[in-house]
Amino acid sequence: MGSFLSVTNGSAQPPRFIVLRYDGAAKDQAPVVLVGKGITFDTGGISIKPAGGMEEMKYDMSGAGTVAGLFYALAKRKAKVNVVGLMGLVENMPDGNAIRPGDILTSMSGQTIEVLNTDAEGRLVLADVLWYAQERFKPKHMINLATLTGAVLVALGHEYTGVMGNDKDLIQKIIAAGAATSELCWELPLCDTFDEQINSRFADMQNIGTDRTAGSSMGGIFLQRFVKKETKWVHMDIAGTANIKKPIGVHTDNATGVGVRLLDRLIAEQFESIG
């Protein structure tokens, strides 16, 4: 996991990779796999963030927090479904050992990544965790949650989670579950021209696009390169909804736990009747 492990190079804290399993259905039922980004604190690394607002970067583990919260909800109601939760936990710090812009990483998939910005680190973690999830658990459905881009906050504010992926049906079911639980979602596009913009001269891909446009979709298109064609996959960018400064709808201020209600309903309506 050269991509995942590289992010922790500058931290005194070792990385952690957590696998949660909830087995509530027959053993032959393929699990729903949920992947959470768990950057326990994100300074941006060598591409360091501005000082203003950096204290909020403790919320960069919100994707992993949602996965943990969902497992609690599933266990509480004894859900009849098999679910696997994966969390890649690291701290992104600047240090003499930290990854640098220009470094080239080898991911678990064998694909190489040119790092142009060390603050686009969440996708480096998720790349290996998504690949591991598919290699180990062979899911039909895989959903990841991540406070991935500031661009989604610019586009959708604090009211909507950005969703994108390779399966329109799963996207629409997530949007419907969000509407029913007051955790609103909005689909953002992934397309071939976005994919072309992350090609690298020196590696298979680079970790950001060629400019500042379509930043949320660029994060999603990067992740899609680590998703197998047979896997139905959706990426949920919760950077705008995981942490809010004043109450909105069902959510209080600060950490919202966004996605727990939504995914619990999605699983109850769409996956518990399977198998």
- Measured distance between the N- and C-terminal CA atoms of the chain, rounded to whole angstroms: 33
Q: What residue ranges in 72-160 does DSSP mark as E strands?
A: 82-92, 104-106, 112-114, 141-146
Q: Please tell me the distance from the alpha carbon of residue 217 to that of residue 154, in angstroms, as a whole number.
A: 13
Q: Which residues have a catalytic role annotated? A: 49, 123
**CA atoms within 13 Å, Cβ hemisphere of 76:** 8
Q: What residue ranges in 24-57 does DSSP mark as E strands?
A: 32-42
Q: Please tell me the distance from the alpha carbon of residue 185 to that of residue 254, in angstroms, as a whole number.
A: 19
> Phi and psi of 37, rounded to 5°?
-70, 130
